[in-house]
A and B are shown apart, each in its own frame.
Chain A
Amino acid sequence: MSTLVIADVQQGKLDGATAKLISAVQKISGEVHLLVVSFNENALTQAKGLSGLDKIIGVTHVGFEHPTAEIMAPLIVSVASEYSHIVANTSTQGKNLLPRVAALLDTQQVSDVIEIISDDTFKRSFYAGNVIAKVQVSSAKKILTIRATVFNPVAAGSCDDVKILDYEPGESKVSFVSAQISESTRPELTSASIVISGGRGLQNGENFVLLEKVADKLGAAIGASRAAVDAGFVSNDLQVGQTGKIVAPDLYIAVGISGAIQHLAGMKDSKVIVAINKDPDAPIFQVADYGLVADLFDVLPELESKL
């Protein structure tokens, strides 16, 4: 039996997490197949340049411009019989889609796997990352969302075994109205090697400019705490935490963030953590490798000028 990896495709492009998912499932016995569903050929071309794959299954149809769970799930179910494992990323796409697939296959799902121990045993994080469970799955099919950010990507390579599936999406029960896509020239938050995040301490959205200037010097992605997003300083796609994005960069700089457990859940696997906060008792200092107790409005301009 083999593993089917469902690629995240964003606006016709293969998401960087896909290479991490492929790397994560190498421990599972059998072949690794990648399903790439898109409205154009771009993602498929990108996928052919990855190592670690035995086969790519490509579905290209204009009907998949907006790959809703309602049209994606039946497609995955139609190929599911060949696979012992079906996995997707713990992204909003994967989280939206995979439980719908699991229910159609009458199979339980294991969410947010952070380690694959064997074909049927996995570690997952729950309770905002405060507890890790080792679980064993007895169903014939294992359906998993995997936290791609904790795995290293597979190297570039090539996969020439490409099967093009002629599949027409069915009538969807939902239709697309509009999207508000956050455009940024900075690295993507979940794959960036440096992340600098701001919290309520920034006081307003305009002050995020101070953070952006430092981010530009470091080539960093910008993140935010829930408090900053709730207050309307920045958009929701920047939220790092239990229910937002989970990141694990080489360097995470938390600025004006107190460090609620829900925020720590999203960043405590970062290799090096820096906390800048004027409150010496802020919980963020308990997880920080380097803490600087100071006013961020002094520190940020100084950092910008000295980096």
Chain B
Amino acid sequence: MKALVAIKRVLDYNVKARPNDQGDAVELANCKMSMNPFCEIAVEEAIRLKTKGAIDEVIVVSIGSAKCEEQIRSALALGADRGIHVQTDVDLSSLSVAKVLKQVAQNEGADIVLLGKQAIDSDNNQTGQMLAALMDCAQFTFASEVNIDGQNVEVTREVDTGSETLKGQVPVVITTDLRLNKPRFAKLPDIMKAKKKPLEKMTLSEFGVDESSTVSVLEVMAPAKRSAGVKVADVDELINKLKNEAKVIA
């Protein structure tokens, strides 16, 4: 059994995004970039499944600029076995990413594909579901618990009404939610070892996937700013303001 984990390089979650001066994109110059936190959870889960003996090999793949190698090396340091870097400087749509991942999954004979449920930059929450559609396989999105027994996969998912448990058989696509696990930190010797792990470089042109997008960004803007209000001294004043000024309680 093989697991393929797709990871994305994004603006670090501690950095507050803002529009660039031209107002046509988000300012990324000189900003700290990191692995998408949901992807870290996906990598961690794959490593744990390998430790449990449910899978034999963990392959990480990232699609993006030359610098994505940093994030692939991070995943290798955490315990992934080898990496694949599909290089492109184009910011691909989720659909195009899913098309590339489908080919990678096929080439590698992946039984389980793990992805973060969403990237914290685009906030799209699409790629895993699209990949499952293209692979014509089961999708387990927003996973909070994964159990694998041979070919059988059982996943508990976080949903708006609580949670639900579904089961199916490989191949499957799983997207990870926050509470699936707590990712480990890489240890220094592992970071050194990761430099020697195999990393295959490919180019987007090898996949024949359309780079163009049917969604064009006309403008990027900051949301309407909320100004800080007033401090109230005590509960009485708070209730008075809510009743008589804001008129939101009776």
Binding site for B on A (CB under 8 A): 10-11, 66, 68-70, 73, 91-93, 95-104, 106-112, 121, 125-139, 173-182, 190, 194, 218, 226, 229-230, 235-237, 242-243, 245, 250-251, 261-262, 268, 271-274, 285-294, 299, 302-303, 306-307
In the assembled complex, the Cα of A97 lies from the Cα of B129 at a distance in Å of: 8
In the bound complex, do residue B125 and residue A99 qualify as a contact, i.e. CB atoms below 8 Å apart? yes
Do B129 and A103 touch (CB < 8 A)? yes
Q: Is B6 an interface residue (CB 8 A)?
A: no
Which of B66-74, B106-114, B208-216 interfaces with chain A?
B208-216
CB-defined A-B contacts under 8 Å, sample of 15: A70-B138, A100-B139, A111-B123, A132-B220, A135-B215, A135-B216, A136-B218, A177-B165, A226-B178, A235-B162, A237-B163, A274-B238, A289-B229, A290-B246, A302-B235
Of B43-51, B152-160, B198-206, which stretch is located at the interface? B152-160
CB proximity of B222 to chain A, nearest CB, Å: 7
Q: Shortest Cβ distance from B121 into chain A, in angstroms?
A: 6
Q: Which 10 A-B pairs have the closest CB atoms?
A: A127-B17, A289-B229, A99-B129, A103-B133, A103-B130, A99-B126, A139-B214, A177-B165, A251-B248, A173-B138
Which residues of chain B are near A289, meaning CB under 8 Å? 229-230, 246
Return the chain B residue nearest A114 by Cβ: B223
Q: How far is the CB of B136 from chain A (nearest CB, A)?
A: 8
Of B123, B129, B131, B157, the contact of A128 (CB 8 Å cutoff): B123
Stretch of B79-87, B90-98, B186-194 with 4 or more beta carbons under 8 angstroms from chain A: B90-98
A126 adjacent to B122 (CB under 8 Å): yes
Q: Which of B's residues lie within 8 Å of A, judged by CB?
A: 11, 13, 16-19, 26, 38, 93-95, 98, 117-118, 120-134, 137-142, 144, 154, 157-169, 177-179, 213-223, 226, 228-232, 234-236, 238-239, 241-242, 246, 248-249
Q: Which residues of A contact B124 (CB under 8 A)?
A: 109, 111, 126
Q: Once the chains bind, are A95 and B125 in contact (CB under 8 Å)?
A: yes
A174 touches which one: B13, B140, B160 (CB < 8 A)? B140
Cross-chain contact B164 with A176 (CB below 8 angstroms): yes
Q: Are B235's CB and A306's CB within 8 A?
A: yes
Distance in angstroms between the alpha carbons of A268 and B239 in the assembled complex: 21
How many Å lie between the Cα of A230 and that of B38 in the bound state?
A: 15
Q: Contacts A108-B215, A131-B26 given; indicate if A236 touches B144 (C-beta within 8 A).
A: yes
Q: Report the bound CA distance from A244 to B18 in whole Å.
A: 22
B161 touches A290 (CB 8 A): no
CB-contact partner of B162 in A173, A180, A218, A268, under 8 A: A180
Asked whether B167 lies within 8 Å of A290 as measured between CB atoms, the reply is no
B214 touches A108 (CB 8 A): yes
A69, A108, A173, A292: which contacts B94 (Cβ < 8 A)? A108
Q: Which residues of B contact A250 (CB under 8 A)?
A: 248
A180 to B159: give the CA distance in the assembly, Å.
Answer: 10
- Whether A102 pairs with B126 at a CB distance below 8 angstroms is yes
- Residue from the list A91, A110, A126, A286 in contact with B228, Cβ < 8 A: A286
Chain B residues with CB below 8 A from A139, complex form: 214
CB-based nearest B residue for A145: B125
B118:A243 contact, CB within 8 angstroms: yes
Once A261-B16, A274-B238 are accepted as A-B contacts, the answer to whether A102 and B130 lie under 8 Å apart by CB is yes
Q: How far is the CB of A96 from chain B (nearest CB, A)?
A: 5
Cβ B222 vs Cβ A132 within 8 A: yes
The distance in angstroms between the C-alpha atoms of A291 and B228, with both chains bound, is 9
Question: Which residues of B sit under 8 angstroms from A98, Cβ to Cβ?
Answer: 129
A128 and B167: CB pair below 8 A? Answer: no
What is the CB-to-nearest-CB distance from B100 to chain A, in angstroms, rounded to a whole number? 13
Partner among A103, A242, A251, A299 whose Cβ is within 8 Å of the Cβ of B123:
A242
Are B242 and A274 closer than 8 Å at their CB atoms?
yes
Known: A103-B95, A251-B249, A288-B229. A230 touches B121 (CB 8 A): no
Q: Are B219 and A106 in contact (CB under 8 A)?
A: no
Q: In the bound complex, how far is the Cα of B137 from the Cα of A295, in angstroms? A: 52
Q: Once bound together, how far apart are the Cα atoms of A255 and B167, in whole Å?
A: 38
Partner of A290, one of B169, B217, B230: B230
Q: Given A10-B161, A102-B126, A236-B179: A290 and B141 within 8 A (CB)?
A: no
Q: Which residues of B contact A294 (CB under 8 A)?
A: 234-235
CB <8 Å contact, A290 and B164? no
Q: For residue A175, which residues in chain B have a CB less than 8 angstroms away from its CB?
A: 166-168
Q: Bound complex: CA of A250 vs CA of B220, how far in Å?
A: 28
Cα distance, A134 to B213, chains bound together (Å): 15
List of A residues within 8 angstroms of B238 by Cβ: 274, 290, 292, 303
With contacts A129-B223, A251-B249 known, is A96 near B162, CB below 8 A? Answer: no
| CB-based contact A173/B218 at 8 Å | no
Q: Name which residue of chain A comes closest to B127, CB basis.
A: A99
Cα A242 to Cα B121 in complex, Å, equals 11
